[in-house]
Amino acid sequence: MSDITRAEVCVTACADLFLGAGETLASPMGLIPSLGARLARLTTEPDLLLSDGEAFLLTPESTVEGWLPYRKVFDVVAHGRRHVVMGANQVDRFGNQNISAIGDHAKPTRQLLGFRGAPGNTVNHRTSYWVPRHSTRVLVEAVDVVSGVGYDRAAGPFHDVHRVVTNLAVLDFDTPDHSMRVVSVHPGVSVDEVQKQTSFPLVVQDVTETRLPTGEELELIRTRLDPGGKRDGEVPQ
């Protein structure tokens, strides 16, 4: 199994985000989280709902099982049966996320997408993040603009930032003050390396190694979900 790639470890770590999700809309943004969500549906979470990224809910066989135009996505967000995995230009130690702008919001040094759905997602349902390049530029002490809401802000009864999966590690906020903790490091990565690539001190206790994909999962990833190997372009070995 020594030929298992970092990208494949990241895909199964993303699949594990959905453990116990049941009949919930999984909304993965980006390739690795999408592969993870589809893998979860084919293995542990057959009841997950997945869209084509546009207006249709699709079965694993890609037949249409439902209609979900953007306006109905907002209904699902408010209803709460959704777990989104968003990207992040910045994430801080309490899980605040920025996809809006770098610098001063009035005149940014770098304009990004805008708030998009991040404020609504984070106060309404479970949210995770995917960071393909774990670095001090992304894992920052404080984000420039709070798009996704972190644990140090009043965010109402449904706020639930679950995990951050990066190319180096899996992190969560399961600490007394909800500051970021290392759950596991990917095979070949040290805790020191993760800390060095993070701008704030991480909580480090009982860190494990991120699990490897099973034989069945590898088969699904390689032959069914991503036979062209696009995953290795997003997460180099």
Partner 1 sequence: MRDKRMTADEVVGEIKGGMTVGIGGWGSRRKPMALVKALLRSGVSDLTVVTYGGPDAGLLCAAGKVRKLVYGFVSLDSIPYDPWFKRARETGAIEVLELDEGMFQTGLRAAGHRLPFLPLRAGLGSDVLKYAPELRTVRSPYDDGEELVAMPALKLDVALVHLNRADRHGNAQYLGPDPYFDDLFCLAADRRYVSCEQIVETFDGPPQTLLLNRMMVDGVVEAPGGAGFTSCVPDYGRDEALQRQYAETASDLEKWPDFYERFLR
Given the rule CB under 8 A, which residues bind partner 1? 54-56, 67, 69-71, 74, 77-78, 100-101, 105-120, 122-124, 145-149, 153-159
Residue pair 73/61 in contact by the 8 Å Cβ criterion: no
Nearest residue (CB) to partner 1, 113 versus 204: 113
Q: How far is the CB of 11 from partner 1 (least distance, A)?
A: 22
Nearest residue (CB) to partner 1, 10 versus 76: 76
Give the residue carrying structure tokens 């530029």. Answer: 137
What is the C-alpha R_g of the chain? 17
Residue pair 66/58 in contact by the 8 Å Cβ criterion: no
Nearest residue (CB) to partner 1, 120 versus 193: 120
Nearest residue (CB) to partner 1, 36 versus 95: 95
Nearest residue (CB) to partner 1, 60 versus 69: 69
Residue pair 148/96 in contact by the 8 Å Cβ criterion: yes
131 vs 109: CA distance, rounded Å: 22
SS (H, E, C) 109-163: CEECCCCCCHHHHHHHCEEEEEECCCCCCCECCCCCCCCECCCCCCCCCCCEEEE
Nearest residue (CB) to partner 1, 19 versus 154: 154
Q: How far is the CB of 153 from partner 1 (least distance, A)?
A: 4
Q: How far is the CB of 116 from partner 1 (least distance, A)?
A: 5
112 vs 166: CA distance, rounded Å: 20
Q: How far is the CB of 59 from partner 1 (least distance, A)?
A: 17
Nearest residue (CB) to partner 1, 74 versus 208: 74
Residue pair 133/139 in contact by the 8 Å Cβ criterion: no
Q: Extract the tokens encoding 6.
A: 């970092």
Q: How far is the CB of 150 from partner 1 (least distance, A)?
A: 8
Q: How far is the CB of 85 from partner 1 (least distance, A)?
A: 17
Q: How far is the CB of 194 from partner 1 (least distance, A)?
A: 27
